[in-house]
Amino acid sequence: MLTVVGALVVICILFLLYEWWPYWKQGAMLKSMPGLTPSVIPWMNWIYMLTSLRKFKGGGDMSSAFFNFRHELFARYRKEGIFKTWSSYDGGPTICVFRADLVEDVIKSPSFSTKSIEYELIRDWLGKGILTSHGAQWKAQRRLLTPTFHFSILDEYENSMNSHFLKIVQNMRDHPEIQKNVELSEWATDCTMAVLLETVMGLEVDDPECADSREYVQAVNSAALLFSLRFLKPWHKWDYCFYNSSEGKSYLEAVDRLHAFSQKVIAKKIRDLTADPSLIGVRPGKKQSFIDMLVSLHLQGEQISVQEMKEQVATFMFAGHDTTGWAIAWTLYQIGVYPDVQAKVHEELDMVFGRDMTRHTTADDLKRLEYFDRVLKECQRIYGSVPFISRQCTVDVQLISGKYEIPRGATITIAIHYIHRDPEVFPEPETFDPDRFLPENVRCRHPYSYIPFSAGPRNCLGQRFALQELKISLVNILRNFKIKSNRPLSEINIAGELILRAKDGLYVDFIPLDYIMLFSISVVVLLVTVSLCLVGWQSYWRARKMLMNMPGPTPSILPWLNPIYLLVSLLKFKKDGDSSVAFLKLRSDLAERHRSEGISKLWTSPDGGPLILVFRADLLEELLRSPSFAKKSVGYSQLHHWLGNGLLSSHGAEWKSQRRMLTPSFHFSILREYDGPMNSHSLRLVEEMKAHPKLRKNIELGEWATNFTMAILLETVMSLEHDDPAFADRREYIDALGETTCAFVQRSTVPWYKWDWLYFNTPDGKRYLSAVDRLHSFSEKVIEKKIKDFTANPSLMENRPGKKQSFIDLLVSLHLKGEQISVKEMKEQVATFMFAGHDTTGWATAWSLYQLGIFRDVQARVHEELDMVFQGDTTRHVTTEDLQKLEYFDRVLKECQRLNGSVPFVSRQCTVDGASLGKYKIPKGATMTIAIRYLHRDPRVFPDPEKFDPDRFLPENVRGRHPYAYIPFSAGARNCIGQRFALQELKILLVNILRTFQIVSSKPLSEIQIAGELILRAKSGLHVDFVPR
């Protein structure tokens, strides 16, 4: 008997040693990591845990205590950004990570791509849906489901979201009794559940299934709470212990109710699609919604079983309503706590919507609500609805950004709630400050320091859907009500379960907005405006005094009188032209008047600030080399709706990062590959013109050339095939671009167009937005086509040895790999290069050909040189070696660019008060206009500057010239990134045209009405005849 007992004891000891050995190994590996010291015996950690939780329990329950316990550890170890506890339900380590660089390591590493073992505990509920699966199964699911949240599907949901929330708003306005002491979480999750059922789940609002949604929401709350409480009892590790306890039985009961509801939804959709088989499958040009796609695939016998379908529906039913519901609740509550913030939100809403409280909120409206967007981000930073996400370490691994080795099997908790409270990133993190999300404050921030929807490959699949619903709901509510929260946030008892919840609820009053309140807001706005004017005028008077000794018109004492001078001056120069023509003539007049000084001030800015024209080489060198003038001028902010923060309009660290990323896509090895398409396109154009005489008579060069350069851009930089549908739409893009640039210049001449809310509500502003929408639509087509190609053939994403990627290939590759660039950033870069890559080169081509048509003797010498090099062959491709031989042609091209370069002005902003420029001091905020057009007409550098003389560019004439006297592509660090591409395209096109045709221009240059917009354009066009040689 003793032998048997002894043997059992030995077996037990060996079993415990076998079980505990990995735990001891983990403890040894984590010895140097901050945090709690583990007990020798794993189960003893629980005693410490339960003792600690009693200390933090206070008036809350155990889930609140657990949240407060982790909060105390975060405060203790916030400098390290990481700590360990031994609270995992199997006794192993839980490592909490909340410093951005460490979080980036975790999210990007394949060693942490598996969901933590705790997610096994919700397999009864969510099965192996996209939230809990991993590896190849997760990748297949992600690939399958991603198209169901395509932006074209989300556009269709906009109407349902608006209808639901406006119906709720109207019901609340009609029944004052439901406006008082409303518990936000129950109210908001009911709303989001109804929206989810009608959009993602494809049900009608009057379907019987929708009537049970309240019961479903209650079951979710029960299941989530019981899931969190399971961790606090070690013996609940084993399913048979948990499911035989009262808590386990309650959990299973809640899960059964959840499954029953999900099955009703699926059954309803199966009935609908079986009754009408035409609904099954994808229709051309139309994406399927989430539930339609799942059921279609199931009924077609492809890819997905009934069980898998149930798991995905259960996952999205939970994740699709609970997170967004609580996000709405926390956001409204915080807005109700900060009345000053709420007043500014109401002010912005009034500017966009006026007094209209019932019209649908559109995507364009949301783009204009910039302050509201910052408020929403700050609400998500402080109380995001998902406080923690967990991963499991699958191999022993060293964190790149830290000195710690993570053992296999450790649970890694990415503590989003604490990442967003890092005082090094967000000073005074508990202070509510929406201006943390101003572009200049975000620009240099670590990309993983703000991740409300997680990040990396396993980020939230439905985040665009959630944000769209969140914004539409809040806008419709806040247009109609003021929110009054019933107590401060410090008194809220928070529980960090799967979702960040308030244990006792979030109670508010909804106070209807009436016109008396709007009048009060208007009075406040008026007082604030007057105060800001006084502050602004003080800066103006200081700048005025600083610039009194600079040449140029003397500014008025009151800044708003300067635009009157501008308008009177423009009338003097306007005659038959429009404002953009008059504005160019006004600046030309100032340049001539102050030619010797090379600098002139002009007070035209809508905010009363100075615009300083600089057009002398030595001053320009000083300006372009100085970091005080490296930032793009404030005028470029008016292009934000169009170009965003692309390479043209960004600055500082963001610009440097973009420039470094994009420069390889214009490497000479890439440009060599473009020779073929450039030659093929231009020779095809020549053949068409030879075959059709009507294509040679009275041709408007601006339209003709930009159409060509757009085609080249699409086939080279944008990597599209010639037969792609985008080619057919390029004329519409070019027309929209002309409208946009004209509107930009017009806006700069109208002082009250300074404010977006006013400008975008005028006919001019609406035309501008309409044109920008067409530009964005075209850019999105280009991106979507490339993403589709790369998704179908992932090998295209790889960099091949010795081969550089084209511009669009580089962007899409980085995006699909989850590196460096978001969809929004990609759209901004494509929009920038679609504009800059064709319009400037197109007009450079047009102006060069027109000037050759004016100066026939010059054209004759060009033809003579071409004949010498090509020996009469008009069809072979132009090579780099050919271009190197065309010395006279090169000088002609430079002279054409000198006289009428396609970019007449570029602008910078002075960022330092009192910055030196020559003998002048420049005030902070001044707009510095680098007047390339007038620089190239300096008679001290180019005698008789209006005369066309290519020999100005003979080597002996160039040798002693100031390096900044001729800068057609700007100069310095921010010179044109694509200048080699532009010159290559320009030369190949001109050579192929001039080998075959003589150019005859319709009238002298002096009769051409020139508009100095973003690009130098001829208002009535440049008309020529192409005469076969």
Annotated binding site for heme: 976
Helix ranges (DSSP H) in 199-321: 208-211, 213-230, 239-243, 246-275, 290-299, 306-319
Distance CA 1, CA 5 (A): 6
Helix ranges (DSSP H) in 886-998: 887-900, 932-935, 955-958, 979-994
Distance CA 855, CA 50 (A): 92
**The one-letter amino acid at 398:** Q
Distance CA 622, CA 964 (A): 10
With beta carbons less than 8 A apart as the criterion, state whether 320 and 462 touch.
yes
With beta carbons less than 8 A apart as the criterion, state whether 191 and 329 touch.
no
Vertex 296: Cα angle to 290 and 300 (nearest 5): 150
**The one-letter amino acid at 237:** K
In angstroms, how far is the first alpha carbon of the chain from the final one? Answer: 117
Q: Three-state SS across 890-918?
A: HHHHHHHHHHHCCCCEEEEECCCCCEEEC
Beta bridge partners of 998: 1027
Strand 481-485's sheet: what is its strand order? 182-183, 507-512, 481-485
With beta carbons less than 8 A apart as the criterion, state whether 614 and 936 touch.
no
Structure tokens at 161: 């979201």
Residue 533, H or E segment: helix 515-546
DSSP string covering 660-716, please? HHHGGGG-HHHHHHHHHHHHHHHHHHHHHHHH-GGGGSSEEHHHHHHHHHHHHHHHT
Distance CA 446, CA 449 (A): 5
Residue 549 DSSP label: T
Which residues contribute to the annotated binding site? Answer: 976
Q: Three-state SS across 403-435?
A: CCEECCCCEEEEEHHHHCCCCCCCCCCCCCCHH
Residue 122 DSSP label: G
DSSP string covering 782-827, please? HHHHHHHHHHH-GGGGSPPTT-PPPHHHHHHHHHHTT-S--HHHHH
3-state secondary structure of 729: coil
Distance CA 240, CA 221 (A): 23
With beta carbons less than 8 A apart as the criterion, state whether 286 and 156 touch.
no
Helix ranges (DSSP H) in 320-445: 322-337, 339-353, 363-368, 370-382, 416-419, 439-442
Cα atoms found within 13 Å of the Cα of residue 934, Cβ hemisphere only:
28
**The one-letter amino acid at 588:** S
Vertex 852: Cα angle to 851 and 855 (nearest 5): 85
597-619: burial string, b at 16+ Cβ within 10 Å, e else: bbbbbbbbbbebbbbbbbbbbeb
Look at the chain and count its residues.
Answer: 1029
Structure tokens at 675: 């020779």
Pairing mode, if any, of strands 905-909 and 915-917? unpaired
Residue 183, H or E segment: strand 182-183
Distance CA 500, CA 61 (A): 14
With beta carbons less than 8 A apart as the criterion, state whether 832 and 655 touch.
no
